[in-house]
Structure 1
Amino acid sequence: MRLAVLTSVIVVMLGALPAYFGARALTDDPVFDTLDALDVPGWAATQTVDDVSGSRWCLLDCRLRERTADSERPPEETAQVYEQALLRDGWRRWEVDRCPDQEEKGTYTCWRRDELTLDLWVRVPTCVPPPVDGEPAIVPVPEPGEEPPAECSGASVTLKVRNAIDDDRTRPLPSTDPSLTGEDPFPTLTDDPLGELTPSPS
């Protein structure tokens, strides 16, 4: 009986516990733990939603982590507290082209820390009112500098974290220096595309 109990304990220690910690390592993403640890006030991170795509081991596509959150205060104040929290956590501002890839409304900044890059986008929230007579309501978009309606206050926050090795902005663009391209491969054509006929030997 003692031998059976001892064998069961050994099997649990050698099999079940490593399997538990292995499954936990696969499901737990340390990047989201880092975002959880950002020292931002509660009003700046309500209703957070996390989304993940790609592979942790960069098979085909590296992992992209995206977190969206709502803030109860205006975009300017929200962006300020997030930027201060990133600086305290060791992130550094990354001045790079294509930040953002296309023009976005609001405040868009890029950051780097160790092997990661982070995009922070803070903007006026997009509020969707309930349908009217079964039809979607028309949502007026506030102009730059215009305050949103009272029922559409606060801000929306998006954080995107990528592996720096998979971020195209970490790789220099190829040079288009004409001296590197050699001669023009397309010769200038004369008026007569056939040119002059070469006389045949007599």
Structure 2
Amino acid sequence: MTRVLLVEDEPQLVRALRINLKTRGYEVDAAPDGRTALELAAKRHPDVVLLDLGLPDMEGVEVIRGLRGWLTVPIIVLSARHASAEKVQALDAGADDYVTKPFGMDELLARLRAAVRRAQPAEEAAVVETEAFTVDLAAKKVTRNGRDVRLTPTEWHILEVLVRNPGRLIAQQRLLHEVWGPSYEKETNYLRVYLAQLRRKLEPDPAHPRHLITEPAMGYRFEP
């Protein structure tokens, strides 16, 4: 049974979410503030986290950073904050998705299901196929039209991170951190250069990519 950690200080919303989630077979632990959320996460090991940013004792972004120090499960932000900068900050801190309030329950549940599916451990396909190219993760090899595509180590590393997270937005800072290290987290121009190179090698129409997608000012996403 999927365990959800709900971090929210609005009692009515907590009640509504708890009822809807339990009706659909989820187990729910609720925390009214950030400190309780971090304690519950350590004790209960949730499979997914639903997190409000406006908590009474600390900013939700701080909770995300605290969880991301050791927890890899999906974190979906629920917030009334609509500003792009707020969304970018939450995603950069390690959130996987951002849902603005008020939201439809059906949409939230769909996003929750999608996040849990993407987080399923590495029963992942060793070979990922798209209409344009094939990625063999085990052999670290890419083919297009039956021919090997030569990638530099950096190009491969970027592609591997994206391909292992299909459909999931990978924030610029996370991608820079994973590929180059923490001291390069502001060098977003690196990503523009390397993604352009990857598209030239892999996309049928690099100017209109179908598989290596840019989310402006936020990050990148691989669509199979």
Which TM-score applies when normalising by structure 2?
0.24
Which TM-score applies when normalising by structure 1?
0.26
Bigger radius of gyration:
1
**Structure with the bigger percentage of helix:** 2
